[in-house]
Chain A
Amino acid sequence: MAETTYLDAIREAMIEEMRRDPRVFLIGEDVGAYGGAFKTSAGMIEEFGAERVIDTPISEVAIVGAASGAALMGMRPIAEMQFIDFITCAYDILVNFTATSRYRVGSPCPIVIRGPAGGGTHGGPFHSLNPEAMFMNRPGLKIVAPGTAYDAKGLLKAAVRDDDPVLFIEHKYLYRRIKEELPTEDYIVPIGKANVRRSGSDLTIITWGSMIYVADDAAAELAKDGVSVEVIDLRSIIPFDEEAILNSVAKTNRVIILHEAPLTGGAGAEFAARIAEKAFDYLDAPIKRVAALDVPTPYSPPLEAAALPDKARLLAAARELLAY
């Protein structure tokens, strides 16, 4: 059976949702005739026409604003950010209008905002963002960050069908590097549910996005030393699977939170706090976080590699915890 890339999983999810539901449409920069900067929407304008695959001016405010207005009218827009970094240009309208609409006035505003995130591709300071933390403290937006092709397709379908706005963070490092056999039938991955990628008893690594593969590698290496590591792919950041986190910590008594975004004020701080509040008695060692340096993501490969978390830093943190 043919394997599907992470990128094609996203494209297939959009196409299948647009075939299923005439309310769904795609709006963004260069998404039409060009098929998207990464070819995520290749072929879509040919099937659905310019009315449902809408090329916009360079204006993230117009993309998110128009998607939000259309969603209020009953449509199900998918708004593409050419790079997720540019979501900051629409931050105001997204967090103040879109995310608050249901709570403030009882008007659901179910848009999906998606786009390529993350580093490791030498994109430099303006094309490497991991944006989850800057939205976590602005209630009203769901946030998902798939690391597998299966989850990318299933979570995107769940996001399109969700009755609230969803920020869908796709990791561009994975676009063509990850290939999986996917089910031929329609499926969704529920928002808010973590996936236990690897079951273990000595140490938990909580992570998401492309960092799941760093966690896999570290776990395999630690297994050689007889250490049993549990890897939890959170998949959803808001709402997050607190039960899966607490259950794992209760089992392993040691936990590392690994994320690609900078350390300070990162999503890991919230998860660490939640564990400290609710599972303190289970801990045999301090909660560890492994994350990027507190710097913008630099361009040059040696600098970028040093700024982003990697297996060596994860292993060092793990060994420190295991020896505690």
Chain B
Amino acid sequence: MTIDTHGLTRENLLEIDYFLRLTRTLEERLVALFRQAKVIGGLYRSLGQEGESVAAAYALDYALGDVVQPLIRNMGSILVAGAKPADIIKQYMAKGDSPTRGRELNIHFGHPARDGFIGQISMLGDMIPVMAGIVLAGRMQKRNLVGMAFIGDGASSTGAFYEGMNFATVQRLPLVVVLENNGYAYSTPTSKQSAVKSLADKAQAFGCASETVDGNDVLATYAAAKRAVERGREGGGVTLIEAKTFRMKGHAEHDNQSYVPQALIEEWSAKDPVVRFEAALVEAGIATAAEFESIQSRVRREVDAATDEAERSPMPRPEEAGMGLFAGDGYWEAKEG
């Protein structure tokens, strides 16, 4: 049986598999570190959602200056953009040589121009207007870059989401917004967030392009994201992609998600994006189970090395707490220099 790989080479497909497994394995490692009380902040799993995070972000071209902005469950997207596993573990462990030097949590880091990704803030929706400004600057600087913002079903209820989408669409900015519909925002089901039939229908309020995609189908999500990225790069403006998926764990590690019906968890377990993707590649004769095992070995070695590096890292010095608020004290400049 042949499958449409949407222009992806065998190497591309194996690289996507690497990022999928890296995301899952790295998160499993973070859970272990959390249980050892070495990860001291909240831990938010993306189990079951790795497919759309990785596939959508894989549609960007970071060499052109494209920028991806994850939400808490899109660690996979910043790994695709080039984030280092050791940096992510250091962030979770609040280490002094983490990218934010212990000031910020988890994947709240990254500079759009330097790193190709920018971490969210916790006030959901706010990153949509910020991403609009990032791609607006790209246009003013005559750089043909595209931005991709992830947002959740819950955050699509915020004013900032509407205001940012409206502005970006009016300005015809090259922005792709991946609206992950994973069934729940903390304990609140999507039906109590929005009354629209499909979250993609919200695009009608702005006048931008939209589509709904099976977020647990890696190749379909990649194809939708690729279309949207091309539309943005060619001057066609904003695209809203609703990626239908499911949050297989609680909001965070402390949450046993007792409010989620067991039948839903079982239904979506059968749709695991990594399992489906690999099965499709095997069935199409593109890759073998042995190759996936080899990728998994590599991922495990890398995560082990990253963990060792993060565990060896120092905590920040308390006297740094008052530094780096404004330019001029040399705090961040010393790091950059």
Contacts and interface: CB of A to CB of B under 8 A. Distances in A.
Name the interface size band of chain B. 35 or more
Interface stretch (A100-108, A119-127, A213-221): A100-108
Interface stretch (B78-86, B102-110, B261-269): B102-110
A139 B325 contact: yes
A99 to B, nearest CB: 9
A68 B130 contact: yes
B160 A65 contact: yes
Interface in A157-189: 162-164
Interface residues of A, number: 39
A69 B110 contact: no
A70 interface: yes
B332 A25 contact: no
A163 B112 CA distance: 17
A74 B112 CA distance: 10
Interface in B113-167: 113, 118-119, 121-123, 126, 128-138, 140-141, 159-160, 163-164, 166-167
The listed residue with most B CB atoms (<10 A of its CB), out of A65, A97, A139, is A65
A66 B167 contact: yes
B166 A69 contact: no
The listed residue with most A CB atoms (<10 A of its CB), out of B101, B141, B326, is B326
A41 to B, nearest CB: 18
A72 B129 CA distance: 13
Contacts of A284: none
Interface in A73-98: 73-75, 77, 92-93, 96-97
Contacts of A66: 129-130, 132-133, 136, 167
Contact of B113 (A64, A73, A140): A73
A74 B163 contact: no
B167 A93 contact: no
Given A70-B140, A72-B113, A102-B327, A97 B108 contact: no
Given A93-B160, A105-B109, A106-B100, 11 more contacts: A57-B167, A59-B166, A65-B164, A69-B132, A93-B123, A103-B103, A103-B324, A103-B325, A105-B110, A107-B118, A108-B327
Interface of B: 99-101, 103-104, 108-113, 118-119, 121-123, 126, 128-138, 140-141, 159-160, 163-164, 166-167, 170, 324-328, 332, 335-336
Interface of A: 25, 51-52, 56-57, 59, 61-62, 64-75, 77, 92-93, 96-97, 100, 102-108, 139-140, 142, 162-164
26 contacts: A51-B140, A56-B167, A57-B167, A59-B129, A59-B163, A59-B167, A64-B129, A65-B133, A65-B163, A69-B129, A69-B132, A69-B133, A73-B112, A77-B133, A92-B126, A93-B123, A93-B126, A96-B121, A96-B123, A103-B324, A105-B99, A105-B111, A105-B119, A106-B336, A107-B111, A162-B327
Closest CB pairs A-B (n = 5): A69-B133, A65-B129, A66-B133, A73-B137, A62-B167
